[in-house]
Structure 1
């Protein structure tokens, strides 16, 4: 049972982390070094959700600390004008799948209550999904190139905003107009705009409507990355 009140959010998130730490719901517990529940600002209006921990994350027990995490942090700073700890970052599954494979549906289902609990506690206005696995989890869509930069409605009036996983960007280095990295930079700029508007108390429907117009404007103008 969760405690209530904003001052109790951190305690509730830590309580979920402790449950994850001893979880044996699926076979991933047999090969993990550490569980990786997530970290960041529990009062953030924006939450990032990736696929699952990699080797570096498994070793340290923290999400997005390897090369992909370093790129995510760099993009947050340079394009969203945010620090990593301004947002909460987690994954669909909280233990590393062997060889960084895509988690199975059974593994995702086993972890669902933990992710749902984190969302209930943090109460984000917008969830940014990183890559295809969380995109499919939240929306049923499976093509990130067609879904990125769009908004999807989810439970509790939460908006889903898909973008590319940073590990995919590491494999696709081009940043020319129309490339995945080019779109990811544009998405990060938009995420920064949304974050600041939501922190000012603006309504999420108003923010997303304004942002949709901004996205069209940036894409049509060439989306200057300066």
Structure 2
């Protein structure tokens, strides 16, 4: 459809955002990869490297208070790590002077409902770091 996060994963993302008392209009959503890989496969290293400068520039222009990475590729790309999502989540990192909180991708939550509780904890942390609101 030309927009990030549509379909079931997009619907879940909207509910996640609304769950922390924000709307999709209040958040900026960007993808690491600026085009969808064939057959919706995982992005390859060269594709990430080609698109990463655009993502970095988007973050520079937006100057967010907090970045929340959704899924392994986004977290690993910005944090320059190969650490698993399960080990990355639940903590606050720094990316170019900005607080960064990794959590699971909404599509992964649809496949693994047991991750929804940890993701909710990540979102509550995100909201607190954003403006001090405790949920």
**TM-score, normalised relative to structure 2:** 0.90
Aligned equivalents of 1:134, 1:172: Cα separation in 2: 18
Residue in structure 1 matched with residue 10 of structure 2 by the alignment: 69
Aligned equivalents of 2:128, 2:71: Cα separation in 1: 21
Aligned equivalents of 2:82, 2:27: Cα separation in 1: 24
Which protein, 1 or 2, shows the higher relative CO under an 8 Å CA cutoff with sep ≥ 6? Answer: 2
Aligned equivalents of 1:98, 1:193: Cα separation in 2: 37
Residues 77 and 83 in structure 1, CA contact (< 8 A), matched pair in contact too:
yes
Root mean square deviation of aligned Cα: 1.8
Q: What aligned pairs does 1:159-198 form with structure 2 within 5 A after superposition?
A: 159-173=99-113, 179-197=114-132
Aligned equivalents of 1:75, 1:158: Cα separation in 2: 21
Residue in structure 1 matched with residue 41 of structure 2 by the alignment: 101
Residue in structure 1 matched with residue 92 of structure 2 by the alignment: 151
Aligned equivalents of 1:194, 1:153: Cα separation in 2: 12
Aligned equivalents of 1:188, 1:120: Cα separation in 2: 23
Q: Deviations over 1:61-117 (max 9, x none)?
A: 111112111101011112x11111111001100100011111111111111221111
Q: Deviations over 1:139-166 (max 9, x none)?
A: 11431111101011222x1122100101
Paired residues in the alignment total: 134
Residues 93 and 108 in structure 1, CA contact (< 8 A), matched pair in contact too:
yes
Unaligned 5+ residue runs, structure 1? 1-59, 174-178, 199-213, 215-225
Residues 141 and 147 in structure 1, CA contact (< 8 A), matched pair in contact too:
no
Residue in structure 2 matched with residue 117 of structure 1 by the alignment: 57
Q: Which has the larger radius of gyration?
A: 1
Residues 135 and 141 in structure 1, CA contact (< 8 A), matched pair in contact too:
no
Aligned equivalents of 1:188, 1:153: Cα separation in 2: 17
Residue in structure 2 matched with residue 206 of structure 1 by the alignment: none
Q: Deviations over 1:34-87 (max 9, x none)?
A: xxxxxxxxxxxxxxxxxxxxxxxxxx2111112111101011112x11111111
Aligned equivalents of 1:84, 1:66: Cα separation in 2: 15
Residue in structure 2 matched with residue 203 of structure 1 by the alignment: none
**TM-score, normalised relative to structure 1:** 0.56
